[in-house]
Amino acid sequence: MDVIEMLDKDHKRIRSLFSEIESAKDSQEIYDSFDKLDNILTIHARAEELVLYPQSRNCEDTVTLIDKGKKGYQPKAGQLYQERPGKEKPPCRV
């Protein structure tokens, strides 16, 4: 599996986890799904930063798009995970 296939698979899994969160019956299911989502998004974002973005810089007209995307990036799911009621915020991984 190449990195593009891996990232595409991640996108499908991320959409699935959001569906699980939306249909969750109790708070434990939501927390469990957010834990999975946090792990996938952390690895996914790192793969994009280390492999996809550097390789994409070699393609015409992508540098501006990549820079624009990085400036607007906010880890929304990670923020929601960290703001869960009754849970300590995990240490920053940056």
Residue with tokens 């698979």: 9
Tell which wins on pLDDT, 18 or 93: 18
Tell which wins on pLDDT, 18 or 84: 18
Percent of the chain with pLDDT over 70: 65
pLDDT at 94: 35
Helix H or strand E encompassing 66: helix 63-72
Using H for helix, E for strand and C for coil, what is the string for 19-32?
HHHHHCCCHHHHHH
Q: How many CB atoms lie within 10 A of CB 44?
A: 19
Closest by alpha carbon to 5, among 54, 73, 51, 70?
Answer: 51
pLDDT at 92: 40
Residue 75's pLDDT band, with cuts at 50, 70 and 90, is low
pLDDT at 89: 46
Tell which wins on pLDDT, 86 or 71: 71
Domain ranges of the chain: 3-82
pLDDT at residue 49 tops 60: yes
Q: How far is residue 9's CA from residue 91's CA, in Å, rounded to a whole number?
A: 27
Question: CB-side exposure of 56: number of CA atoms within 13 Å?
Answer: 17
